[in-house]
Amino acid sequence: MWLFLLRRCGLAVLIVMLAVSALYLMIHAIPGDPASIILGPRATDEMKAALYIKMGLDQPVYMQLASFFGNIFQGDLGYDVFSQRDVTDIVLEQLPWTLALIFASVFWAALVGIPLGCYSALHANTWFDTLTGIVSVGTIAIPSFVVAIYSLLVFSVSLQWLPAIGAGEQGNLLSQLEHLILPAFAVGLGWVGYISRLVRASMLEVMGSNHIRTAKAFGLPSRWITFRYALRLAILPTVTLLGVGIGYLLSASLFAEIVFARPGIGKLIFDAVSTRNYPVVMGSVLVTTGLFVIATTLADFVNALLDPRIRAGR
């Protein structure tokens, strides 16, 4: 288990470094001059040159990358000359909003999706199963920004039950929860469908396996078989999906952040790329890539914990 853990962590660091480097090279490859964008039409050449030096852009790209990674090991994500603030502060300000949105979305999607999939599998080919199948595929197919806009029109504009914009008052958990409902609904709705379909398929497969048949033959109660033996195995692909899905959720959260005018890391990256704000792009992408890698690694661990065969490398 320790070797497995070590190997996965090493791989995770390598992936993060490669991803950030690749993105940095790509941003440099596309046209755009941060000095012109930041300073605007009234900047002189001298002002632009000074900004370039301040941002370290007068150095070759490989030197910029080397100094970026060098600074990371000292816990420094760099300095944003645009807002005159540390990138670490900027990223840490925005990250919790996105994390809250992602966790809330996944949480309610799993809460609804897992029992739904499980129930559908146990009642396969009934009208309920057919109906959940249609609804699930339907929710997967609807883009989250469409759900976001319609939920806003219904719950904010027509009914005026829920706030349309923002993330809630600082230090007021109730207000923040209130502001989280619609975005989490919009981002998570498609995942209800994904999860329920996946759990249903896995459950059907597991329920047909030998050990479940044996358990049934021994006369164990069906609830015991379902929750103790079948669901434990059937949930493994869902755990993996949720881990890998962090990447998707980050991009879906960008839409939610724009539509609901919420703060968050997705909007931060979007704005930073548009203005070629390299330090913020690098810092925030490093953190989000790290998050993605941590989530997939965690999913691997959870799978390994749930299934001894994975631990044994079989």
Partner 1 sequence: MAINTIQKGLRLSRRTLLMAGTVIGLNMMVPFSMAAGSDEVLQSRSYVDITSLDPANYLNAVDEDVMGAIYSKLIYFKPGNTWEWELQAAESIEQVDATHIKFKLKEGIQFSNGFGEMTAEDVKFSFERAAFGENPAAAADWGGALEEVEVTGKYTGVIVLKKPYQPLWNLALSYAAGNIISQKAYESVGEFTNSPPASSGPYIVKEWRPKQKVILERNPDYYGEPSAYKEIHINQIDDEKTAEIAFESGNLDVTRISMSSVQSYRETPPDNSQLQVFPSLFYVWLGINFENPKLQDPRVRQAIQYAVDVPSILQASYFGEAEASTGIIAPGLLGHRAQSLIAPQADIAKAKALLEEAGVSNLELSLDVLNKATNVTTAQIIQALLSQIGIKVNINQHEAGSFWTLGSEKAGERWKNIELILNRYSMVPDPYYATVNFITSQKGKWNWERFSNEEFDQLNEQAQAELDLAKRGEMYQRMQDLMEESGSYRFITHEAEPLAIRNSVAAGLRPDGRPLYRHFKPAN
Q: Residue 186 half-sphere exposure, CB side, CA atoms within 13 Å?
A: 30
79 binding partner 1? (CB under 8 A): no
181 binding partner 1? (CB under 8 A): yes
Which residue's CB is nearer to partner 1, number 124 or number 165? Answer: 165
* Residues between 30 and 59 with contacts to partner 1, criterion CB under 8 A: 30-33, 35-45, 47-48, 50
Q: Name, in order, each residue with C-beta under 8 angstroms of 186's C-beta and a sequence gap of 6 or more.
A: 144, 145, 147, 148, 151, 255, 256, 259
CB of 188 to partner 1, least distance (A): 17
Number of residues that bind partner 1 (CB under 8 A): 57
Q: Give the chain's count of helices (H) and strands (E).
A: 15, 2
Which residue's CB is nearer to partner 1, number 135 or number 164? Answer: 164
Among candidate residues 122, 141, 135, the one with its CA nearest the CA of residue 199: 122
Answer yes or no: are the C-beta atoms of 295 and 98 closer than 8 Å.
no
* Residues between 126 and 155 with contacts to partner 1, criterion CB under 8 A: 149, 152-153
Query: Rounded to the nearest 5°, which phi and psi values hold at 313?
Result: 75, 20
Which residue's CB is nearer to partner 1, number 172 or number 209? Answer: 172
247 binding partner 1? (CB under 8 A): no
Using CB under 8 A, which of 85, 123, 213, 228 touches partner 1? 85
Which residue's CB is nearer to partner 1, number 120 or number 277? Answer: 277
Answer yes or no: are the C-beta atoms of 109 and 274 closer than 8 Å.
no
166 binding partner 1? (CB under 8 A): yes
CB of 44 to partner 1, least distance (A): 7
Which residue's CB is nearer to partner 1, number 212 or number 272? Answer: 272
Which residue's CB is nearer to partner 1, number 9 or number 165? Answer: 165
66-69 long-range contacts, Cβ below 8 Å, gap at least 24? Answer: 68/20, 68/24, 68/282, 69/17
308 binding partner 1? (CB under 8 A): no
99 binding partner 1? (CB under 8 A): no
- Tokens standing for residue 71: 């600074």
Among candidate residues 61, 52, 54, the one with its CA nearest the CA of residue 21: 61
Which residue's CB is nearer to partner 1, number 77 or number 236? Answer: 77
Using the rule CB under 8 A, give the single segment among 25-33, 66-74, 208-216, 283-291 that binds partner 1: 25-33
Q: Name, in order, each residue with C-beta under 8 angstroms of 295's C-beta and a sequence gap of 6 or more.
A: 242, 243, 244, 246
217 binding partner 1? (CB under 8 A): no
Instruction: Provide the β-strand partners of residue 50.
Output: none
CB of 112 to partner 1, least distance (A): 17
177 binding partner 1? (CB under 8 A): yes
Which residue's CB is nearer to partner 1, number 188 or number 264? Answer: 264
Q: Name, in order, each residue with C-beta under 8 angstroms of 37's C-beta and a sequence gap of 6 or more.
A: 275, 276
For residue 23, the SS3 value is: helix
* Residues between 251 and 280 with contacts to partner 1, criterion CB under 8 A: 258-261, 263-264, 267-268, 273-276
Answer yes or no: are the C-beta atoms of 280 and 268 closer than 8 Å.
yes
Instruction: Give the residues lining the site for partner 1 (CB under 8 A).
Output: 30-33, 35-45, 47-48, 50, 82-85, 90, 93-94, 149, 152-153, 156-157, 160-167, 169-170, 174-175, 177-178, 181, 258-261, 263-264, 267-268, 273-276
